[in-house]
């Protein structure tokens, strides 16, 4: 009969639970799993890389679809806004002609309104040309030698 004191070591003939590993290895701990062959590890890495690349391409495709959708919506609503602004400018021009006609005559009122609108258009065209220059600079293939690309564009 074993002793009642838990601090005393078990007798050598008594069976202890030190060699049991969760019931899987009753004679002691196993030496560990056998090493995996290098070809399998490399195959797993290639499979993981392939899956990652496919996921990245799917993400890129989804983002491009979203950008295309956003660009088409922006173009549609931009067209609506440009049309509304054009109609508003026409109404403003007709109104300006009608207001100026009693004071300076219909022909001179029309000339004044057209001249002002052409001046506004010239300033807007100048600003658009500056924006186009920024786009050309951003898309230039050789940023260090700017003269070559500018000569090709001219």
Q: Is the pLDDT of residue 55 over 70?
A: yes
Q: Is the pLDDT of residue 23 over 90?
A: no
- Return the axis-axis angle of helices 38-104 and 106-138, rounded to nearest 10°: 160
The two structure tokens encoding residue 2 = 């074993």
- pLDDT tier for residue 34 given thresholds of 50, 70 and 90: confident
Reported as a single tens digit per residue, the pLDDT across 109-150 is 999 999 998 998 899 888 888 878 777 777 776 666 655 555
The pLDDT of residue 35 is: 79
Structural domain boundaries in the chain: 37-87, 105-154
Q: What is the pTM of this model?
A: 0.44
Reported as a single tens digit per residue, the pLDDT across 95-106 is 999 999 999 999
pLDDT above 90 as % of the chain = 23
Q: Which residue has the higher pLDDT, 8 or 57?
A: 57
Which range has highest mean pLDDT (3-12, 18-27, 64-73, 127-136)?
64-73
The rounded distance, in Å, linking the Cα atoms of 151 and 129 is 17
Helix (H), strand (E), coil (C) string for the chain: CCCCCCCCCCCCCCCCCCCCCCCCCCCCCCCCCCCCCHHHHHHHHHHHHHHHHHHHHHHHHHHHHHHHHHHHHHHHHHHHHHHHHHHHHHHHHHHHHHHHHHHHCHHHHHHHHHHHHHHHHHHHHHHHHHHHHHHHHHCCCCCCCHHHHHHHHC
Closest CA to 95 of 110, 111, 80: 110
List C-alpha distances in Å: 14 to 4, 10, 23: 14, 6, 18
In this prediction, residues 63-74 reach a mean pLDDT of: 87
The rounded distance, in Å, linking the Cα atoms of 123 and 131 is 13
The pLDDT of residue 10 is: 56
The two structure tokens encoding residue 147 = 């003269």
């Amino acid at each position: 009969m074993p002793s009642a004191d838990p601090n005393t070591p078990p007798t050598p003939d008594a069976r202890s639970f030190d060699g049991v590993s969760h019931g899987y290895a009753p004679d002691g701990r196993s030496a560990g799993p056998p090493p995996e062959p290098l070809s399998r590890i490399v195959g797993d890495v290639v499979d993981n890389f392939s899956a990652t690349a496919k996921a990245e391409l799917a993400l890129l495709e989804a983002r491009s679809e979203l950008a295309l959708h956003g660009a088409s919506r922006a173009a549609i609503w931009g067209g609506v806004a440009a049309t509304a602004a054009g109609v508003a400018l026409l109404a403003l021009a007709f109104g300006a002609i009608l207001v100026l006609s009693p004071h300076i005559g219909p022909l001179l009122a029309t000339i004044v309104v057209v001249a002002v609108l052409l001046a506004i258009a010239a300033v807007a065209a100048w600003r658009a040309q500056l924006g186009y220059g920024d786009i050309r600079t951003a898309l230039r293939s050789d940023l260090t030698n700017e003269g070559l690309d500018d000569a090709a564009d001219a």
